[in-house]
Amino acid sequence: MLTNEAILCYDKGVAKKGGTAIVLSFSPLTLVRGGWLFFVGKIERRMIMLADQQILRIPGPSPIPPSVQRAMSQPMIGHRGQNTSELLRRIAPKLKKIFGTSQEIAIITASGTAGLEAAVVNVVKPCDVVLVIVTGAFGDRFTSICKAYNISYQRIDIEWGKALDPDAIKSYVQEHPEIKAIFSTYCETSTGVLNPIKELSEAVRQVSEALIVVDGVSCVGGVETKMDDWGIDVMVTGSQKALMLPAGLNFVAASARAWDVIEHNDQPRFYLDLKRYRDNLLKDTTPFTPALSLLFGLEQALNLIDEEGLDEVYKRHTLMMEMTRGAFHALEIPLLTSDSDGSPTVTAVKPDDFDAEEFRKVLKQEFGLSIAGGQGHLTGKVVRIGHMGYCSPADVLQIIGMVEIGLVLIGKEIVLGKGTAAAQKIYLNQGVLK
């Protein structure tokens, strides 16, 4: 709450205190409703900040734990030596646990998109027809890869912000028996939707032998993933999201059914040939030079996940989602997705009475807080907040506090603290150990 002195300073147009210069252009402030301060109009500020302080809350890359940073700074070792083989042997079982599979998981030095491309070129034969379920920008990326390889594809477009309907996909596949593979995102990063992948696989299995290929880049490690139990044939993720590493590694796991297709597929590929990675992993090595520093960090990130426990990791991500969504509900600011479709790793906000890009700009200038904007036709219409990986309920409370100030600074009328209080109540009801 501002003091009377502070309000008088505001009325004069300029206030200076604690390294902050405030320049004002707004309609008068009003004190209403039991002492709550409502702000009307726009406040232009120039904040003197710590130059190197940056708060990263985009849906990837995500912050990196200090212990992972330290691990990545270890002295380099030979990539064909015994130390590297031992490192790969230690990593493998913990990585398989996160994927929920007994199969070998290819570790490819490249971005997440390379993993998506690897999935396409390894499981799709030249004459195959595939189905791409597009629920956002990254679902559409599968179609771009198919186009590049002249692969025949059909697509089902889902309204951005909504999850796929497994029964609708089942009906479509039943009507199109020529479909050999189905591509979908798990978490659609561009919209904050978590698609029901388990239910999709169960529904498709009733009518088709088509392979189920899933982009799990922005959620594996943050939400439950059980490849083998759910009947997922290929799962892809990247290092820079819930796995708490810099970008530069992607991980591709394939089922026994998928390996049977891969081994008999004459689709051209070289660096992305999954057979090379599997055959080398069986010998505790890699087909090409790995990003060893990232592997050092990966081992430590997996250790952190193991220490916390996977179930607790999933609970933490769900709690952060509920706190974030609850805060915006309390502030009466619309979200792009329904509560039932929302992802535990990213929340998309769709404002209807303020400028999304101006809001992002103010948060960056004021606090060094980076949140993401919209993609595709949602550019300039949504903001996306990442809460994955190295992120806790304490971070969410910090973010919501900054969000509320940012809203005030762009002239949005709110009750300061209402969103924070809502998030606090959710934490107290669900997040405190009994």
What would the pLDDT profile of 365-394 be if each residue is shown by its tens digit? 999 999 999 999 999 999 999 999 999 999
Sign of CA dihedral 197, 199, 203, 206: positive
What would the pLDDT profile of 138-158 be if each residue is shown by its tens digit? 999 999 999 999 999 999 999
Q: How confident is the model at residue 211 (pLDDT cuts 50, 70, 90)?
A: very high
Q: Which amino acid is at 177?
A: P
Q: Which amino acid is at 334?
A: P
Mean pLDDT of the chain: 90
Give residue 51's pLDDT: 78
pLDDT higher than threshold 80 for residue 406: yes
48 vs 351: which has the higher pLDDT: 351
pLDDT higher than threshold 90 for residue 92: yes
Give residue 20's pLDDT: 41
Q: Confirm if 205 and 175 have CB atoms less than 8 A apart.
A: no
What would the pLDDT profile of 212-257 be if each residue is shown by its tens digit? 999 999 999 999 999 999 999 999 999 999 999 999 999 999 999 9
What would the pLDDT profile of 102-120 be if each residue is shown by its tens digit? 999 999 999 999 999 999 9
DSSP state of 190: T
The matching CATH number, chosen from 3.40.640.10, 3.10.560.10, 2.170.190.11, 3.40.50.300, for 66-307 is 3.40.640.10
* Number of helices followed by number of strands (H, E) in the chain: 15, 19
Q: Confirm if 399 and 325 have CB atoms less than 8 A apart.
A: no
Q: Angle, to 10 degrees, between the axis of helix 137-148 and the axis of helix 112-123?
A: 50
Mean local confidence (pLDDT), 300-320: 98
Whole-structure pTM value: 0.89
Q: Confirm if 131 and 182 have CB atoms less than 8 A apart.
A: yes
Spatial distance between the Cα atoms of 1 and 7, rounded to a whole number of angstroms: 10
58 vs 27: which has the higher pLDDT: 58
DSSP sequence for 342-366: B-SSEEEE--SSS-HHHHHHHHHHH
Spatial distance between the Cα atoms of 117 and 110, rounded to a whole number of angstroms: 11
DSSP state of 34: T
Residues of the chain with CATH 3.40.640.10: 66-307
Give residue 434's pLDDT: 39
Spatial distance between the Cα atoms of 235 and 216, rounded to a whole number of angstroms: 6
